[in-house]
Amino acid sequence: MEEKPSYYAIIPADVRYDENLKMSEKMMYGEITCLSSKTGECWASNNYFAKLYHVTPQAISKWIKNLENNHYISVSYEKEDKVITKRIIKMVSTTIDRVSTDVNGGINYSLGGYQHTIKENNININNTSNNNIKEIVDYLNARLGTNYKNTTKQTQSMINARLKEGFTVEDFKKVIDKKYKEWRGTEFEQYLTPQTLFGTKFEKYLNQKTTKEVDPYAGVPRL
């Protein structure tokens, strides 16, 4: 593994803008795409990556684990007599094609094996994600009377980050409703934005207990 790969690295937008990933982990993802370009699998060891990036093998282990936890790669092992002989890393959440360089320095694209299946699956995943983002932003605009775009990269990144953490579209609507009722007509109304509502305090907002609104007609006979 001394020779560095000559293939192009691919880092899709969903990886580049994922707030759950450190910059080093995004670079690691790109390196894995290089090493996977021939066979669809990356077998490089932590020591190889550590030498490449001038960090410890322990740091590499954490980077790979975070990429796996965020569903960008899968990790499996081959064993002989219960002893691990090889680690296998595969791309999971990516729409990239296989990329390599030819002798003239050009770029060759080829689809094959696992990548073709991944691309088809990710068309459906991306469509679902885009539909969810649109539904959430449309709901926000309808509630606030605003005109936020569902195509804004920052808004997409924040919503996708929360969806990857396991939150649902209904959770987004609950947060919008709670903070709208709390901040409407106050100095905090200016913070009713995607950046504030869908940021790192999202879970706190979702679990926030709201005061029950008093019914002004409570106890008054209805006609």
pLDDT digits (tens, 9 = 90+) for 110-131: 434 444 444 555 555 566 678 8
pTM (two decimals)? 0.43
Whole-number Å distance between alpha carbons of 171 and 203: 9
For residue 76, which of 63, 60, 55, 91 has the smallest C-alpha distance? 91
Whole-number Å distance between alpha carbons of 214 and 11: 52
| Whether residue 99 is found in the same domain as residue 159 | no
| Whether residue 21 is found in the same domain as residue 81 | yes
Cβ–Cβ under 8 Å, residues 167 and 206: yes
Is residue 5 situated within a structural domain?
A: no
Classify residue 42 by its DSSP letter: B
pLDDT over 50 (residue 45): yes
Cβ–Cβ under 8 Å, residues 37 and 5: yes
pLDDT over 90 (residue 175): yes
| Whether residue 82 is found in the same domain as residue 139 | no
Question: Can you name the residues that pair with 99 across neighbouring β-strands?
Answer: 109
Count of structural domains, the chain = 2
Q: What pLDDT is stored for residue 211 in this prediction? A: 59
Cβ–Cβ under 8 Å, residues 189 and 145: no
Q: Please, is 35 exposed, middle or buried when counting C-beta atoms within 10 Å of its C-beta (0-12, 13-18, 19+)?
A: buried
What is the span of the domain harbouring residue 78? 13-110
Q: Which two tokens stand for residue 69?
A: 């936890």
Cα–Cα–Cα angle for 138, 143, 145, rounded to 5 degrees: 85
Is residue 147 situated within a structural domain?
A: yes
Is residue 100 situated within a structural domain?
A: yes
Q: What pLDDT is stored for residue 7 in this prediction? A: 60
pLDDT digits (tens, 9 = 90+) for 58-105: 999 999 999 998 888 999 988 888 788 889 998 885 444 444 444 444
